[in-house]
């Protein structure tokens, strides 16, 4: 399943009309994160992560730096979901094909394309408004490294 910012907008609109603010499944959370990154909204992308996960603060800093210095086009393809046959599972181990085009906001700045296989563990958590999905682990976190500007 390919998740891009363009089809994510349509998915999010439909989901907004049919469900509450909580994500109904792990894929919806991934789609919202891709959309937030492509929209230059670091807060929306950061909300996808469990605050208790190892390296959370580093990921927050990298996402903030990346969205400040670049325009992002993000596409995430779910290659495999070990729990795909069990929709009631509270944990999903995802293998993602993650593609980003990073265009520097500086005049004449570099454009960098990244394509990386990323392993993600998603957990269903209890929230004030019900249940939601969060990323509990992500590797490699270098997908969020800021671009190098010469």
Q: What pLDDT does 10 receive?
A: 44
Q: What pLDDT does 3 receive?
A: 64
Domains and CATH numbers, the chain: 2-144 (3.10.450.50)
Q: What pLDDT does 62 receive?
A: 96
Q: What pLDDT does 13 receive?
A: 39
Among residues 74, 90, 64, 89, which one has the least CA distance to residue 30? 74
Evaluate whether 18 touches 27 at the Cβ level (below 8 Å).
no
Regions of the chain with pLDDT less than 50:
9-21
Q: What pLDDT does 143 receive?
A: 96
């Amino acid at each position: 399943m390919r998740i891009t910012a363009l089809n994510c907008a349509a998915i999010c609109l439909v989901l907004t009309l049919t469900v509450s603010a909580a994500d109904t499944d792990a894929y919806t959370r991934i789609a919202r994160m891709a959309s937030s990154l492509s929209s230059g909204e670091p807060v929306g992308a950061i909300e996808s992560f469990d605050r208790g996960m190892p390296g959370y603060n580093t990921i927050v800093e990298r996402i903030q730096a990346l969205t400040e210095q670049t325009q992002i086009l993000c596409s995430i393809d779910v290659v495999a979901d070990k729990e795909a046959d069990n929709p009631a599972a509270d944990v999903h181990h995802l293998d993602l094909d993650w593609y980003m085009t990073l265009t520097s906001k500086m005049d004449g700045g570099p454009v960098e394309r990244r394509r990386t296989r990323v392993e993600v563990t998603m957990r269903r958590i209890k929230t004030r408004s019900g249940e939601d999905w969060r990323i509990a682990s992500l590797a490699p976190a270098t997908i969020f490294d800021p671009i190098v500007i010469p």
